[in-house]
Amino acid sequence: MERDFDDLVAEAEAVSVAGWDFSWLDGRATEQRPSWGYQRLMGERMALAAAALDIQTGGGEVLAGTPKLPPTTVATESWPPNVAKATALLHPLGAVVVADPDEPPLPFADAAFDLVVSRHPVTVWWQEIARVLRPGGCYLSQQVGPSSVFELVEFFLGPQPAEVRRGRHPDDARAAAEAAGLEVVDLRFESLRTEFHDIGAVVYFLRKVIWMVPGFTVEQYRERLRELDARIRAEGPFLAHTTRFLIEARKPL
């Protein structure tokens, strides 16, 4: 029996959105993965590092998937529920979690790390990254690109201005990294298919990825959600396009 709108929405509104694990969406939404394989690349860099920092680790899930952590491994996170989750996950693996407000300065000495990584950071403080890297050290990051999932964003918020659509452009990341004194050695960009198969998946996604539709609540957007539910039932999965870029930068010797 097909589940109705209220049932799907109530379930998605009640489930926890702590951490950065999206397994609740299995079978309800799909997202094409970038071809470069960030987890694999990060694991390769980690295996060669002596001291590594994971900035904005979320619940620690990505870092915990690394086959071999360096002797010194530190992660930062700002959201208290994620700090607790990451601590429980990473401490048994030998990694330390530091509660940090995601604002300069990073709570570490100059040249403390030979590797800094970050998957989907909300903000990137390039000068701080350059400061805590040792000469010859590397920053590796997969980031959300411009106009990511904007088909969904604009369904709720309407057309966005050009400067908002261009935000988080990889060319800007390159310029900022170079301005901080880093050398960009790799920069790749891809646009990827993302499909939402039911309205519950949309609600969960917007509750979890809070910057997509700032201040999103089911109550505020219930009628728009109802319209999207009808569209999905009539036309099939809602298609959007996720954008991602990979950037690797080194601090000169």
CB neighbourhood size of 44 (10 A): 14
Please enumerate in sequence order all residues whose Cβ is within 8 A of that of 89, keeping only pairs 6 or more positions apart, or say none: 59, 60, 61, 64
State pTM to two decimals.
Answer: 0.88
For residue 1, what pLDDT is reported? 72
Provide the b/e sequence for 94-130 (b: ≥16 CB within 10 Å). ebebbebebeeebebeeebbbbbbbbbbeebbbebbb
The CATH number for 44's domain is 3.40.50.150
Task: List 51's β-bridge partners, or say none.
Answer: 72
pLDDT per position in the chain (253 positions), as tens?
789 999 999 999 999 988 777 899 999 999 999 999 999 999 999 999 999 999 999 999 999 999 999 999 999 999 898 999 999 999 999 999 999 999 999 999 999 999 999 999 989 999 999 999 999 999 999 999 999 999 999 999 999 999 988 989 999 999 999 999 999 999 999 999 999 999 999 999 999 999 899 999 999 999 999 999 999 999 999 999 999 999 999 999 9
Host domain of residue 183: 5-250
Got the DSSP string for 17-80? --SS--GGGTTTEEEPPPTT-HHHHHHHHHHH-SEEEESS-TTSHHHHT-SS--SEEEEEE-SH
Give the residue among 104, 114, 110, 111 at the shortest CA–CA distance from 76. 104
Handedness of CA 201, 203, 206, 208 (dihedral sign): negative
What separation in angstroms does the CA of 99 have from each of 79, 87, 103, 136, 252? Answer: 8, 10, 11, 27, 29
Count of residues for the chain? 253
Number of domains in the chain: 1
